[in-house]
Amino acid sequence: LAKTTQPISMDSYEGQEVNITCSHNNIATNDYITWYQQFPSQGPRFIIQGYKTKVTNEVASLFIPADRKSSTLSLPRVSLSDTAVYYCLVGDDGYNKLIFGAGTRLAVHP
């Protein structure tokens, strides 16, 4: 499974757009890119998944360049409630292990 690298922490303010980039240089052809969000004392929550180009849902957008060696999770107009740890995962459609890295701790300030 491809290893991922993310910033350890980020700070933002309410109303701003936040972009969290994940590096996955060894991504395989069959691998998908998935992002999860975890609040304190809760289990991770699926945010978005993509394979290439751009994916958007009601929560976030995921940008994946052509070489797929990185991806960017974009959170539009964050609020205090978006303060959480965000995990980038890369894996294929086999019996993947959902390997979690250290994640990015996002702090949104008033």
Partner 1 sequence: DTAVSQTPKYLVTQMGNDKSIKCEQNLGHDTMYWYKQDSKKFLKIMFSYNNKELIINETVPNRFSPKSPDKAHLNLHINSLELGDSAVYFCASSLPGGGNGAFFGQGTRLTVV
Residue whose CB is less far from partner 1, 16 or 83: 83
Distant-in-sequence, close-in-space partners of 95: CB < 8 Å, separation ≥ 6: none
For residues 39 to 78, the per-residue mask of contacts with partner 1, x marking binding by CB under 8 A and - elsewhere, is --xxxxxx--x-----------------------------
- H/E stretch holding 19: strand 18-23
Residue with tokens 């250290």, as numbered in its chain: 102
Q: Which residues ranging from 71 to 100 are in contact with partner 1 (CB under 8 A)?
A: 85, 87, 91-100
Decide the pairing of beta strands 104-109 and 9-13. Answer: parallel
- The Cα–Cα gap between 98 and 47 comes to 14
Nearest distance, CB of residue 1 and partner 1, angstroms? 11
4, 34, 70, 104: residue in contact with partner 1 (rule CB under 8 A): 34
- The Cα–Cα gap between 51 and 54 comes to 8
| Chain positions contacting partner 1, by CB under 8 A | 32, 34, 36, 41-46, 49, 85, 87, 91-100, 102-103
